[in-house]
Chains A and B, each alone.
Chain A
Amino acid sequence: MGIKKFLNTIMFGEIMSGLKLTFRHMFKKAVTLQYPHEKLTLPAGYRGFIVQRRYENEQERCVGCDLCEAICPAKAISVVGDIHPEFPDRRYAKEYTLDFTRCIFCGFCVVACPVNALAMTKEYAHSSFTREGLIYSKEQLLTLGDKCEEDSIEYLKFKNMWDAENSGKEEGRYHFPPIPSVKSGG
């Protein structure tokens, strides 16, 4: 046994070299957040809870076309379409349920939606003690959508789905019967 090794042992050299990393991090910026007192800034395009959106005149966008249900890989969405009670030539979703216990947050439904009625938000903190509490109805999705409108617009913009709607160009877009400007709860 050499003298060097002896000194290293009595001076706790190995421990010191380990603590060096610890001391170095004491002067760096902390990564940990004190959730729920502090919250993370989420990037654009974050795939959080899915919401339903409305037009400017408060009318719901969803036309009940079932495309989101068709594309959903987790079979989390179920749509029941019917004739709109106020406008007999329009289709609407009589029932729309999104089961967040099944949802894998892949965002396919948002891509499939022809009217930008769906968007993903930065909402993530929704929990429930029951399964039923995480099965959202159309009304719940719309309420959540109203709450997170900015998020949803940001998401659509990030995914390049916003410009097509507002470009004013008609070709290549789905054309629906004109929407009356009167306000209706839908």
Chain B
Amino acid sequence: MVKVFVNGVEVEVDSTSTILKAAEKAGISIPTFCYHPRMDPAGSCRICAVELEDSKRVVMSCVTPVSEGMRILTESAKVADARKTNLELLLLHHPLDCPVCDCGGECPLQNMSFSYGASDSRFESHRNDEVEDIKSDVLVFNSNRCILCGKCVRICDEVQDVHAIGFINRGFDTVIGPPLGKKLDCEFCGDCLEVCPTGAITDKFVRYQYRPWQLEKTKTTCTYCSSGCQMNVETEKEAIIRVTSSEGEGPNEGSICAIGRFGFSHVQSTERLNKPYARSFSRLVPTEWDFLIPELSEKLRAIVSTGPDRIATLVSPRIPMEDAYLIQGFTRRVLRSNYIDSGARYGFMNAAFPIAKSTGTLRPMVDHQDLLKAKVILVIGADPTAESNITGLFLKRAIRKEKARMYYVGSESVSITARAKDHIRVLPGGEGLFSWVLSEEISCQESGRHPEFLSRKEELFKSFNVDPQAYTRLVQDLREAQTAVIITGRVFHRLQFAYDAMESLIRMSHALGWIERDGCGILPLPETGNDLGVLMMGATYEWLPGLLDSQDSDNKKRWESTWGEPLSYGKGGGLREILEGINSGAIKGLISFGENPLSHFSPQSGVREILSKLDLLVSVDLFQTSLSDQAHYLLPAASSYERSGHVVSVEGFVQSLNPAMTYWGESLSDGEIVSRLSECMGHPVSSRLTSDVSKEIFTLMPDLSPSTRNGEHFMGPTGNLILPEVVSQPPHKADRNSVASRLSEKTKSVLSPIFPESIPGEGEFVFALNKSLFHSGKMTLLDTSLMKMESSALVRINRQTAKKLKIKKNEMVLIENSYGSCTLPVELTSGVTENELQVPYHFDSPDLLGLFPRELKYSGPCSTVTMLRTRVSLKKIE
């Protein structure tokens, strides 16, 4: 520690820190252009100049380290002079086109010129007059306005690790852009747009359509994936213009992915439902809420009066906790049914259930900060960048800056596999077996292992092409590592034996002593924004709110006393039991809140026929979906940009959703629809206000009170650093002591081996549905901006395979099996294994689900519907 004096204020800072950090600690802000707290300093803009009192020298504060007794002046005449001269030089070629520049009004360069009064330059020069680069569909590069601070290039390299843009040419001719003057092709996260201090990089979707001072900012949480990004939704006259982020704020620390930043146009598309519809004579006709609610509640009452468990509800895992809480309360109290399920049943339940069963909580043991501290990171069956973008960013940072050893286990190559110490390639279907073998190897002594262990391990190496040496290195590293994190994702959770594989991993982490050790644990990535919150609120048949067993009479009593009503629901069930119940006629009604079971089953599976047996089908959604064709009532729902509530992020943060605009048309939030129905059916709710529901939840479950990551730095409007205020909040991670005491109760039972999914035969391919970086579910297909980034499905094929079959880029191929066939254009990649085909699952055409088995297939004790892989043959269309 060294002592320095900033403007006479004495501060003690670490000897490695810079003058800028010392000033920040002293509460004095220094303007910057090129400095960014998340990146290494560059010292290129020369605006953060400060004077050293002793040597009378002017130095750059962002790159100069402090020394003992240093006396620093940040506002002396010499400093002002230096900054003014620098501004004059920056403005030498800068076009004075602020009136037409999209950055005008929020431009640090403009603010700084204004405060230092350097609008006239003493130097004779020309103004830059280069043509803008408008080749990209997303960003516009205007080299004239660029001050070459390099922030965009550095954030792309250091934070995003994408390396999509760079400096082109040298000297006066330097411009920023994609290499070789090509069209920009990257992850379109828009972080460069966010950090650019001038209008050199601007957003093409809303180019010239707004002025920053006209926009109204609303801080809210993104609900596309579970990262829980804090973002500012900027609206003008009730229309969303753009989404920005504040540096340092929230778990994302200022980064947002392409979907969060650009994917908002679908919520204001003309296809949004703006009126409730009721079916009359086989047609859906618009109606009014005031007629609809009594009519619908009368129908529901008629079904409920025939007995418990007659109506089922399905809940989308994108809705906030409050709505999920109201919906499950409505289902259990008013509809007297325990047939309730959420979108987590399509995979994430396979991770959530074993974790909640053995640890008693759904909060993760580790968060993103622990990723940075981890020595070893094991990623199995996950693409963190696409599934939870911020987890991906922290993972990249852990590898790049903290030198963590990352092992990637999976068949495909995703953007992070190139950075892995070992990419342990497993042929598709072997991930479950891998987890079991790994867990057995690590958890047990040689004598205690399962008798089949050796033969299974052999099978893993032989049939699934696992590299034995890499495997040994992984085992060694996991055993020795002080801190280690396992990340599981969509592919892992959708495996046929995902439940058992997750149990194996939990057992292994227990055996390794990770439960007691801080910084170690498993981080499962949920598929959508609020999977965790919806499950915690009991929107699933297994649990009452607070993850309490719904069939346990004590738990029932507890909630009976809270709600002041007897609970007389039956056994209930999840999606499988709901469909079986409808088929057998036991269930007469289904209310779907933003969920569409049809889009998760093969069209020939007969789900449509099963649903047609319903007496009452209510679909609450933003848009018309395939379910609407059968719905008796189609109710418009508010989007997450319009409602309030709280969502739980992958790290366990409970963050708030705030309405950026009023409800679209006559739409209502799911919670409000349920409250109205509930009132009409004679079970009044205590309050219709979401804030009151939040209060109720926070009083009943105090550990769910709002929390968020408080960043180390925030960036002010002129690039100056602001220290965050420390606020007290409940811990977001699981309590290790309670988890440990609960886990140790469980005996170290030997888990039976996991059978791998069969390996494709000669000439056969594994056809896998994966998540795209630019889409989230099917909702974003109506988003014009995201559709510009990815407009149709391409099948990814291994280069070598394509060469063998003489298939070239963008050629059409026929994919078929005994269930169906489809034709798709080809994208060549070395990222998938030789007998694997990968297609993003989002697109409706061609009919990808038609390739899956016709019978309704469920996997594991949670009866999940996974639809991940099927086997097909491939033919080139001549």
One digit per residue, 1 when the CB lies within 8 angstroms of any chain A CB and 0 when it does not, for chain B 208-221 equals 11110110000000
Interface residues of A in 62-93 (CB under 8 A from B): 63-67, 70, 80-83, 88-92
Interface residues of B in 78-125 (CB under 8 A from A): 95-100, 104, 119-121
Q: Are A89 and B134 in contact (CB under 8 A)?
A: yes
- Give Cα A174–Cα B101 distance, bound, in whole angstroms: 11
Interface of A is mostly: loop
Stretch at the interface among A5-13, A22-30, A165-173: A165-173
Tell me which residues across on chain A come within 8 A of B211, comparing CB atoms: 65-66, 70, 81
Task: Choose one: A70, A83, A92; the contact of B213 (CB below 8 Å).
Answer: A70
Q: Are A171 and B214 in contact (CB under 8 A)?
A: no
A129 at the interface (CB under 8 A from B): no
- Give Cα A185–Cα B35 distance, bound, in whole angstroms: 46
Tell me which residues across on chain A come within 8 A of B209, comparing CB atoms: 80-82
Task: Choose one: B98, B129, B207, B210; the contact of A174 (CB below 8 Å).
Answer: B98
B629 at the interface (CB under 8 A from A): no
B77 at the interface (CB under 8 A from A): no
Task: Choose one: A80, A83, A174; the contact of B99 (CB below 8 Å).
Answer: A174
Q: Are A171 and B208 in contact (CB under 8 A)?
A: no
B473 at the interface (CB under 8 A from A): no
Q: Are B99 and A114 in contact (CB under 8 A)?
A: yes
B790 at the interface (CB under 8 A from A): no
Q: Are B127 and A176 in contact (CB under 8 A)?
A: no
- Give Cα A64–Cα B104 distance, bound, in whole angstroms: 13
- Give Cα A83–Cα B207 distance, bound, in whole angstroms: 7
A175 at the interface (CB under 8 A from B): yes
A174: nearest chain-B partner, CB-CB: B96
A18 at the interface (CB under 8 A from B): no
Given contacts A82-B209, A171-B121, A172-B120, contact A89 B96 (CB under 8 A): no
A36 at the interface (CB under 8 A from B): no
- Give Cα A91–Cα B119 distance, bound, in whole angstroms: 23
Tell me which residues across on chain A come within 8 A of B213, comparing CB atoms: 70
One digit per residue, 1 when the CB lies within 8 angstroms of any chain B CB and 0 when it does not, for chain A 106-145 equals 0000000011000000000000000000000000000000
B132 at the interface (CB under 8 A from A): yes
Tell me which residues across on chain A come within 8 A of B120, comparing CB atoms: 171-172
Interface of B is mostly: loop
Q: Are B208 and A83 in contact (CB under 8 A)?
A: yes
Tell me which residues across on chain A come within 8 A of B129, comparing CB atoms: 177-178
- Give Cα A66–Cα B98 distance, bound, in whole angstroms: 11
Q: Are B119 and A172 in contact (CB under 8 A)?
A: yes
Q: Are A81 and B208 in contact (CB under 8 A)?
A: yes
B131 at the interface (CB under 8 A from A): yes
Q: Are A173 and B96 in contact (CB under 8 A)?
A: yes
Q: Are A175 and B127 in contact (CB under 8 A)?
A: yes
Given contacts A70-B213, A171-B120, A178-B129, contact A91 B100 (CB under 8 A): yes
Tell me which residues across on chain A come within 8 A of B121, comparing CB atoms: 171
A113: shortest Cβ distance to chain B, in Å?
A: 9
Tell me which residues across on chain B come within 8 A of A91, comparing CB atoms: 100, 208
Tell me which residues across on chain A come within 8 A of B131, comparing CB atoms: 89
- Give Cα A94–Cα B458 distance, bound, in whole angstroms: 69
Q: Are A174 and B97 in contact (CB under 8 A)?
A: yes
B213: nearest chain-A partner, CB-CB: A70
A29: shortest Cβ distance to chain B, in Å?
A: 49
Given contacts A89-B132, A170-B127, A171-B121, contact A176 B97 (CB under 8 A): yes
Q: Are B208 and A176 in contact (CB under 8 A)?
A: no
- Give Cα A55–Cα B209 distance, bound, in whole angstroms: 23
One digit per residue, 1 when the CB lies within 8 angstroms of any chain A CB and 0 when it does not, for chain B 123-141 equals 0000101011010000000
- Give Cα A115–Cα B98 distance, bound, in whole angstroms: 12
- Give Cα A94–Cα B292 distance, bound, in whole angstroms: 41
A60: shortest Cβ distance to chain B, in Å?
A: 14
- Give Cα A185–Cα B168 distance, bound, in whole angstroms: 38
B208: nearest chain-A partner, CB-CB: A91
Residue of B129, B207, B208, B214 contacting most chain A CB atoms (<10 Å)? B208
Given contacts A91-B208, A170-B127, A171-B121, contact A65 B99 (CB under 8 A): yes
- Give Cα A88–Cα B133 distance, bound, in whole angstroms: 11
A88: shortest Cβ distance to chain B, in Å?
A: 6
A172: nearest chain-B partner, CB-CB: B120
A92: shortest Cβ distance to chain B, in Å?
A: 8
Q: Are B99 and A88 in contact (CB under 8 A)?
A: no
A53: shortest Cβ distance to chain B, in Å?
A: 16
Tell me which residues across on chain B come within 8 A of A81, comparing CB atoms: 208-211
Given contacts A81-B208, A82-B208, A82-B209, contact A67 B99 (CB under 8 A): yes
A147: shortest Cβ distance to chain B, in Å?
A: 26
Q: Are B207 and A175 in contact (CB under 8 A)?
A: no
Tell me which residues across on chain B come within 8 A of A115, comparing CB atoms: 99
- Give Cα A63–Cα B213 distance, bound, in whole angstroms: 17
Tell me which residues across on chain A come within 8 A of B132, comparing CB atoms: 89
Q: Are A63 and B100 in contact (CB under 8 A)?
A: yes
Tell me which residues across on chain A come within 8 A of B100, comparing CB atoms: 63-65, 90-91, 176
Tell me which residues across on chain A come within 8 A of B134, comparing CB atoms: 88-89
A178: shortest Cβ distance to chain B, in Å?
A: 7
Q: Are A175 and B119 in contact (CB under 8 A)?
A: no
Tell me which residues across on chain A come within 8 A of B104, comparing CB atoms: 65
Tell me which residues across on chain A come within 8 A of B214, comparing CB atoms: 66
Interface residues of A in 148-186 (CB under 8 A from B): 170-178
A84: shortest Cβ distance to chain B, in Å?
A: 8
B211: nearest chain-A partner, CB-CB: A66
A61: shortest Cβ distance to chain B, in Å?
A: 12
- Give Cα A92–Cα B207 distance, bound, in whole angstroms: 11
- Give Cα A67–Cα B121 distance, bound, in whole angstroms: 24
Tell me which residues across on chain B come within 8 A of A172, comparing CB atoms: 96, 119-120
Tell me which residues across on chain B come within 8 A of A171, comparing CB atoms: 120-121
- Give Cα A34–Cα B127 distance, bound, in whole angstroms: 56
A64: shortest Cβ distance to chain B, in Å?
A: 7
B102: shortest Cβ distance to chain A, in Å?
A: 9
Q: Are B96 and A175 in contact (CB under 8 A)?
A: yes
Tell me which residues across on chain A come within 8 A of B99, comparing CB atoms: 63, 65, 67, 114-115, 174
Tell me which residues across on chain B come within 8 A of A70, comparing CB atoms: 211, 213
Q: Are A64 and B96 in contact (CB under 8 A)?
A: no
Tell me which residues across on chain B come within 8 A of A170, comparing CB atoms: 127
Tell me which residues across on chain B come within 8 A of A173, comparing CB atoms: 96
A24: shortest Cβ distance to chain B, in Å?
A: 58
B102: nearest chain-A partner, CB-CB: A91
Q: Are A64 and B97 in contact (CB under 8 A)?
A: no
A77: shortest Cβ distance to chain B, in Å?
A: 12
Tell me which residues across on chain B come within 8 A of A64, comparing CB atoms: 100, 208
- Give Cα A42–Cα B98 distance, bound, in whole angstroms: 36
- Give Cα A49–Cα B98 distance, bound, in whole angstroms: 27
Residue of B127, B129, B211, B214 contacting most chain A CB atoms (<10 Å)? B211
B160: shortest Cβ distance to chain A, in Å?
A: 27
B827: shortest Cβ distance to chain A, in Å?
A: 29
- Give Cα A114–Cα B98 distance, bound, in whole angstroms: 10
A90: shortest Cβ distance to chain B, in Å?
A: 8
A16: shortest Cβ distance to chain B, in Å?
A: 68
- Give Cα A80–Cα B95 distance, bound, in whole angstroms: 23
- Give Cα A88–Cα B140 distance, bound, in whole angstroms: 11
A66: nearest chain-B partner, CB-CB: B211
B96: shortest Cβ distance to chain A, in Å?
A: 5
Tell me which residues across on chain B come within 8 A of A89, comparing CB atoms: 131-132, 134
Interface residues of B in 162-214 (CB under 8 A from A): 207-211, 213-214
Complex A-B, nearest 9 residue pairs according to Cβ-Cβ distance, in ascending order = A65-B99, A91-B208, A91-B100, A66-B211, A114-B99, A175-B95, A81-B208, A89-B132, A174-B96
Residues on B lying within 8 angstroms of A by beta carbon are 95-100, 104, 119-121, 127, 129, 131-132, 134, 207-211, 213-214
Given contacts A81-B211, A177-B129, 8 further A-B contacts (CB under 8 A): A81-B210, A82-B209, A89-B131, A89-B134, A115-B99, A171-B120, A174-B97, A175-B95
Instruction: Provide 18 A-B residue pairs closer than 8 Å at the C-beta atoms, listed in order of the A residue.
Output: A63-B99, A63-B100, A64-B100, A64-B208, A65-B100, A65-B104, A81-B211, A82-B208, A82-B209, A83-B207, A88-B134, A92-B208, A172-B96, A172-B119, A173-B96, A174-B97, A176-B95, A178-B129
Residues on A lying within 8 angstroms of B by beta carbon are 63-67, 70, 80-83, 88-92, 114-115, 170-178
